[in-house]
């Protein structure tokens, strides 16, 4: 009887873990059949670079959604920290130092979200909706609505968005490193356990002696950091800071997390799922482009894929 | 209504829960359904009322084979079920909860609030409940929520009412009222299925009793043809020693001193001490403020004034995290909302309160955790297939054991237990009492809030009685009697 139990458990968890992966493989297969140039090393490297920004944001978003929260401000954090970095570079600061300071500023913006939510007792949706407009507004004020250019040609700065590391784009390397670090944090540490617990039952977690507020603030800070890091990569890629950068990025990130099987009500989900979710969205964008589908239709297709994925997920758990 | 359930089988995955159960319900009887935690009582009733479908077997109602589509179908056919796990919508008012899904409306679909209030008031006065209709249900105590559920069932004019441990959260006075209402109902032709782990109640009120063990029916008998010991023996399959284990306390110095704790209208000027190795029983009526005092001690609610000292040193406790590091643990009375994460596994739940010890440097040592959880599950005799089982799928009593297991692992100095044996069968109760002895022998101090007087008298070294937010008396073990406690609990006269 015991082995039977194990088997059953494994079956469900295999399906739950790898369901999105099967979907991704299927998507790969379909696009490759329709256009063989999809599955070339060059395009795959392209794909990895394209998804890295959404991936970083989505990794942070995973933690937030696992606690039952949401962060709408990540796109604005990306833009504001990118503008601040660029500003510092233009004013003569060492580019690498400017990036580090800019990323830390992103952390602070995330922490502000966390404080509003925990100490201000605001709903995450409302708090981050407000901070989204505030950070965006500040970006526009700071940049006066114009791109910041002339960021110099420091090698380190250029590599961040445009370089290659043994043939792999540096943004992709950054993404992979971030994935492993955050995977470890979520699945192997007490901090990760607490993240799940808060989403599962916040009251019970609090009574179990978990410092819920502190964990939440750290998680929003983490998401801010990830968004700012994505901002740094984008700044390097474009060799400029754009005031409208990162708009609606929060939606792609949320979509990736949900596609990866994480429940919006919190408590359930995995880092690996989010990575697959990011890959699915990136593959759709990249593949539909290759197939010459108009960007208008691309949006429709993306929406439909999300609905189908969530419906399938529902069936599975029933 | 006459109900015959015949040869019912039910398995959840590999877990065979019911293995050929027979159960008969006659008109106008109160029929007790007893059995250990996880015996399958709730599952059997869930099958009867259409929530689950049996794998095999038949249900015959008034001579006709019946299968309800769902709970609503059963309700419309006259079967009301007061579930073990309360179904309260915390954000809605008492009145909204009472009529949820069967609101009275006029022909334009507009709510007839006045009429609903009148009907609710009728039932409330029958049960002697005084709760404002517009109070948010989530702000009601567990006992009050239980009364709402009972009132809700009474309003359906059901022919059969199934009560799954309705008195677990009630105090003696309310139980008395409930019993009176139950007797009245049988006179009107209603039959009742009554599930409870409290023997006294079964013998006080039931006409017949069916005992289940491990998914089969052991016996059905008229109450007058059986007795306490026989029933227990059938339930556990062996003779059980005394209900309460021998208790030899060896008391140490004061671990906890509470000085002048006061909080708004809830409680006032609370003074007491607990010594290491001592079990301090806290008795009182529902709403007397016992739970509120404990919540404040544990940092869940704020206090206006007062001081708490642990081992003679003043501690400031503003949230549960600080309470835990000061050496407290709290088994709350509300396991579903505050004690457990129902969607998580047994291991995750027990691990949660013990993260500090399994993850001293932040990294979770899964093997240590697994070993510990397995040990606890065995120690408390939790009935489960594996430690990876989702807690929400355990029987009510086994869920309670998980809450206890979770806290014991933290080796607190002061363990606060609010209704620790609620919903737990006689055998398991004894195991918990033995565990309490073991813990106090190791020097732990236990504060036990309980509405069960036998438990208070049987286990406490000292009893505090709380009445309307004040401590009205303190009794040593030798002087604590049912009468004295009740007198103090009702205001002392
Ligand atoms: N939905 C479910 N899925 C899986 N297992 C279940 C489910 N419901 C009940 N079980 C299992 O069925 C068994 C019997 O549970 P049940 O709730 O009927 O016990 P019970 O006799 O009511 O116990 P208690 O006195 O503790 O309430 C338990 O082992 C439980 O884990
Ligand atoms: Mg039950």
Return the residue matching tokens 């406790």: B317
Min distance B220 CA to chain A CA atoms (Å): 31
Cα B349 to ligand 1 centroid, rounded to whole Å = 18
Residues of chain A with C-beta less than 8 angstroms from the C-beta of B348:
193, 196-197
Share of chain A above pLDDT 90, in %: 79
Nearest CA to ligand 1 atom 8: B393
CB pairs under 8 A between A and B: 88
Residues of chain B with C-beta less than 8 angstroms from the C-beta of A8:
13-14
Domain residues of chain A, as ranges?
A: 3-317
Q: Is B211 left (phi over 0), alpha (psi -120 to 50) or beta?
A: beta
Smallest CA–CA distance from A199 into chain B, residue: B341
Q: Which of B11, B15, B236 to mutate to test the pocket of ligand 1 (most atoms within 8 A of CB)?
A: B15
pLDDT tops 70 at residue A10: no
Nearest CA to ligand 1 atom 7: B393
> To probe the interface with B, which of A185, A207, A213 has the most B CB atoms within 10 Å?
A207
Beta-strand relationship, B56-61 and B3-12: antiparallel
- Token representation of residue B453: 């007087």
Domain residues of chain B, as ranges?
A: 3-236, 254-489
Looking at residue A11, its pLDDT comes to 45
Cα B43 to ligand 1 centroid, rounded to whole Å = 6
Over chain A, what is the mean pLDDT? Answer: 91
Q: Note whether B364 contacts A268, CB cutoff 8 Å.
A: no
Sheet of B254-263: strands edge to edge?
B267-275, B254-263, B305-310, B313-315
pLDDT digits (tens, 9 = 90+) for A55-82: 999 999 999 999 999 999 999 999 999 9
Looking at residue A313, its pLDDT comes to 67
Phi, psi of B194, rounded to the nearest 5 degrees: -125, 110
Q: Which of B33, B35, B38, B199 to mutate to test the pocket of ligand 1 (most atoms within 8 A of CB)?
A: B38
What is the dihedral angle through the alpha carbons of B31, B35, B37, B43, rounded to the nearest 10 degrees?
Answer: -50
Looking at residue A315, its pLDDT comes to 57
* Spatial CB neighbours of B304, under 8 Å, sequence gap ≥ 6: B262, B263, B264
Higher-confidence position of A27 and A4: A27
Query: How would you write B465-488 as a 3-class SS string?
Result: EEECCEEEEEEEHHHCCHHHHHHH
C-alpha to C-alpha distance for B323 and B333, rounded to whole angstroms: 18
Looking at residue A4, its pLDDT comes to 39
Nearest CA to ligand 1 atom 22: B42
Name the DSSP letter for residue B339: I
Q: Output the CA angle B65-B69-B73, nearest 5 degrees.
A: 95
Nearest CA to ligand 1 atom 27: B396
Q: Which ligand is nearest to the CA of B35?
A: 1
CB of B251 within 8 A of CB of B461? yes
pLDDT tops 50 at residue A3: no
**From A5, A197, A208, residue closest to B386, measured CB to CB:** A5
Q: Report domain B3-236's class.
A: alpha beta
Nearest CA to ligand 1 atom 24: B37
Fold match between domain B3-236 and domain B254-489:
yes
Q: Is A306 left (phi over 0), alpha (psi -120 to 50) or beta?
A: alpha
Q: Where are the beta strands (DSSP E) in B188-346?
A: 191-195, 208-213, 216-222, 254-263, 267-275, 279-284, 305-310, 313-315, 328-331
- Residues by chain with Cβ below 5 Å of ion ligand 2: B 42, 84, 395-396
CATH superfamily of B254-489: P-loop containing nucleotide triphosphate hydrolases (3.40.50.300)
pLDDT digits (tens, 9 = 90+) for A276-301: 999 999 999 999 999 999 988 988 98
Nearest to B421 by CA among B205, B273, B251, B199: B199
Cα B283 to ligand 2 centroid, rounded to whole Å = 26
Looking at residue B471, its pLDDT comes to 93
Q: A2 pLDDT band (50/70/90 cuts)?
A: very low
Looking at residue A16, its pLDDT comes to 62
Q: pLDDT averaged over consecutive 10-residue blocks of chain B (493 residues)?
A: 94 90 94 92 94 94 91 90 86 90 83 91 89 90 87 90 89 85 91 92 94 92 91 81 82 94 91 96 88 94 93 94 94 88 94 87 90 90 91 89 89 93 84 90 94 90 93 92 87 61
Q: For chain B, first and last CA: distance in Å?
A: 46
pLDDT tops 90 at residue A40: yes
> To probe the interface with B, which of A13, A204, A217, A265 has the most B CB atoms within 10 Å?
A204
Residues of chain B with C-beta less than 8 angstroms from the C-beta of A191:
362
Min distance B234 CA to chain A CA atoms (Å): 27
**From A4, A191, A210, residue closest to B362, measured CB to CB:** A191
Nearest CA to ligand 1 atom 19: B38
Residues of chain A with C-beta less than 8 angstroms from the C-beta of B356:
190
Residues of chain A with C-beta less than 8 angstroms from the C-beta of B298:
207
Q: Note whether B298 contacts A201, CB cutoff 8 Å.
A: no
C-alpha to C-alpha distance for B101 and B120, rounded to whole angstroms: 15
Min distance B320 CA to chain A CA atoms (Å): 5
Q: Output the CA angle B139-B141-B145, nearest 5 degrees.
A: 90
Neighbours of B487 (CB within 10 A): 16
Q: Note whether A189 contacts B362, CB cutoff 8 Å.
A: yes
Q: A138 pLDDT band (50/70/90 cuts)?
A: very high
Looking at residue B79, its pLDDT comes to 94
Q: Output the CA angle B292-B294-B298, nearest 5 degrees.
A: 115
Cα B396 to ligand 2 centroid, rounded to whole Å = 5
pLDDT tops 60 at residue A256: yes
Phi, psi of B7, rounded to the nearest 5 degrees: 55, 50
Cα B465 to ligand 1 centroid, rounded to whole Å = 35
CATH no. for A3-317: 1.10.3470
Atom of ligand 1 nearest to the CA of B165: 27
Q: Note whether B362 contacts A4, CB cutoff 8 Å.
A: no
pLDDT digits (tens, 9 = 90+) for A87-111: 999 999 999 999 999 999 999 999 9
Residues of chain A with C-beta less than 8 angstroms from the C-beta of B321:
206, 209-211
Q: Which ligand is nearest to the CA of B235?
A: 1
> To probe the interface with A, which of B341, B353, B367 has the most A CB atoms within 10 Å?
B341
Q: Note whether A208 contacts B353, CB cutoff 8 Å.
A: yes
Residues of chain B with C-beta less than 8 angstroms from the C-beta of A210:
321, 352, 355
Beta-strand relationship, B279-284 and B216-222: unpaired
Nearest CA to ligand 1 atom 10: B393
Smallest CA–CA distance from A210 into chain B, residue: B321
Q: Note whether A1 contacts B363, CB cutoff 8 Å.
A: no
- What is the rounded average pLDDT of the residues A236-244? 95
Cα B165 to ligand 2 centroid, rounded to whole Å = 8
Q: What residues flank ligand 1, with Cβ below 6 Å? A: B 12, 15, 17, 35, 37-43, 84, 383, 393-398, 425
C-alpha to C-alpha distance for B99 and B118, rounded to whole angstroms: 12
Q: Which ligand is nearest to the CA of B400?
A: 1
Half-sphere exposure of A2 (CA within 13 A, CB side): 4
CB of A317 within 8 A of CB of A15? no
Half-sphere exposure of A313 (CA within 13 A, CB side): 22
Atom of ligand 1 nearest to the CA of B197: 25
Min distance B246 CA to chain A CA atoms (Å): 31
Name B222's bridge partners. Answer: B208
What value of ipTM does the predicted structure carry? Answer: 0.80
Q: Which ligand is nearest to the CA of B401?
A: 1
Q: A314 pLDDT band (50/70/90 cuts)?
A: low
Residues of chain A with C-beta less than 8 angstroms from the C-beta of B353:
208-209
């Amino acid at each position: 009887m015991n082995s039977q139990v194990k088997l059953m458990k494994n079956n469900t968890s295999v399906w739950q873990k790898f369901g999105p992966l099967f979907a991704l493989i299927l998507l790969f297969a379909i696009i490759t059949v329709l256009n063989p140039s999809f599955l070339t090393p060059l395009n795959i490297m392209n794909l990895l670079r394209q998804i890295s920004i959404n991936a970083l944001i989505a990794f942070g978003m995973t933690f937030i959604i696992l606690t039952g929260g949401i962060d709408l401000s990540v796109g604005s954090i990306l833009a504001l920290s990118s503008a601040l970095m660029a500003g510092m570079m233009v004013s003569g600061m060492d580019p690498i130092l400017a990036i580090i300071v800019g990323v830390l500023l992103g952390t602070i913006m995330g922490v502000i979200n966390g404080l509003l939510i925990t100490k201000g007792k605001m709903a995450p949706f409302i708090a981050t909706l407000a901070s989204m407009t505030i950070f965006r507004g500040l970006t526009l004020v700071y940049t006066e609505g114009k791109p910041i250019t002339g960021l110099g040609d420091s090698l380190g700065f250029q590599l961040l968005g445009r370089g290659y590391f043994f043939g792999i784009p540096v943004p992709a390397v950054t993404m992979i490193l971030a994935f492993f670090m955050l995977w470890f944090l979520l699945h192997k540490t007490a901090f990760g356990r607490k993240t799940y617990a808060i989403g599962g039952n916040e009251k019970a977690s609090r009574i179990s002696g978990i410092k819920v507020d502190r964990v939440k603030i750290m998680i929003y800070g983490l998401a801010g950091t990830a968004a700012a890091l994505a901002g740094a990569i984008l700044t390097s890629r474009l060799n400029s800071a754009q005031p409208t950068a990162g708009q609606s990025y929060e939606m792609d990130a949320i979509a990736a997390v949900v596609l990866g099987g994480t429940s919006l009500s919190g408590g359930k989900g995995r880092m690996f799922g989010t990575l697959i979710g990011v890959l699915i969205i990136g593959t759709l964008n990249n593949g539909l482009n290759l197939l010459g589908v108009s960007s208008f239709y691309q949006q429709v297709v993306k929406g439909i894929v999300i609905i189908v994925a969530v419906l399938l997920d529902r069936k599975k758990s029933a | 209504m006459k109900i015959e359930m015949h040869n019912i089988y039910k398995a959840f995955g590999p877990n065979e829960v019911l293995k050929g159960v027979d159960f008969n319900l006659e008109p106008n009887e109160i029929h007790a359904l007893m059995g250990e935690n996880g015996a399958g009582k709730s599952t059997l009733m869930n099958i009867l009322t259409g929530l689950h479908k049996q794998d095999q077997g038949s249900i015959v109602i008034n001579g006709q084979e019946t299968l309800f589509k769902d709970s609503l179908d059963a309700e419309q056919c006259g079967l009301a079920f007061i579930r073990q796990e309360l179904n309260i919508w915390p954000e809605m008012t008492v009145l909204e909860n009472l009529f949820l899904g069967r609101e009275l409306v006029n022909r334009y679909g507009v709510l007839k609030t006045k009429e609903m209030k009148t009907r609710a008031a009728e039932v409330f006065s029958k049960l002697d409940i005084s709760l404002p209709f517009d109070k948010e249900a989530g702000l009601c105590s567990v006992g009050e929520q239980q009364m709402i559920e009972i009132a809700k069932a009474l309003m359906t004019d059901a022919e059969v009412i199934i009560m799954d441990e309705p008195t677990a959260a009630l105090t003696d006075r309310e139980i008395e009222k409930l019993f009176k209402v139950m007797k009245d109902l049988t006179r009107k032709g209603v039959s009742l299925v009554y599930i409870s782990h409290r023997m006294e109640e079964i013998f006080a009120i039931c006409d017949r009793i069916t005992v289940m063990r491990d998914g089969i029916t052991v016996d059905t008998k008229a109450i007058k043809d059986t007795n306490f010991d026989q029933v227990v023996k059938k339930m556990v399959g062996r003779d059980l020693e005394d209900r309460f284990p021998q208790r030899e306390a060896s008391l140490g110095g004061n671990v906890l001193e509470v000085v002048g704790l006061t909080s708004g209208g809830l409680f006032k000027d609370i003074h007491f001490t607990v010594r290491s190795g001592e079990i301090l029983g806290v008795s009182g009526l529902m709403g007397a403020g016992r739970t509120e005092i404990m919540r404040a001690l544990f940092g869940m609610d704020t206090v206006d004034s007062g001081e708490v000292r642990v081992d003679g040193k003043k501690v400031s406790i503003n949230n549960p995290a600080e309470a835990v590091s000061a050496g407290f643990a709290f088994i709350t009375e509300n396991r579903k909302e505050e004690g457990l994460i129902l969607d998580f596994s047994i291991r995750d739940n027990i691990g949660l309160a013990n993260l500090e010890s399994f993850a001293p440097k932040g990294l979770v040592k899964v093997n240590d955790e697994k070993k510990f959880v397995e040990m606890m599950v065995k120690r408390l005799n939790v009935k489960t297939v594996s430690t990876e089982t989702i807690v929400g799928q355990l029987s009510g009593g086994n869920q309670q054991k998980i809450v206890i297991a979770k806290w014991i692992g933290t080796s607190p100095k002061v363990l606060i237990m609010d209704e620790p044996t609620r919903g737990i069968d006689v055998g398991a109760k004894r195991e918990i009492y033995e565990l309490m002895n073991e813990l106090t022998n190791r020097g732990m101090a236990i504060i036990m809030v309980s509405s069960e007087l036998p438990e208070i008298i049987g286990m406490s070294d000292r009893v505090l009685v709380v009445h309307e937010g004040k401590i009205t008396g303190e009794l040593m073990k030798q002087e604590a009697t049912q009468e004295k406690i009740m007198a103090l609990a009702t205001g002392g006269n």
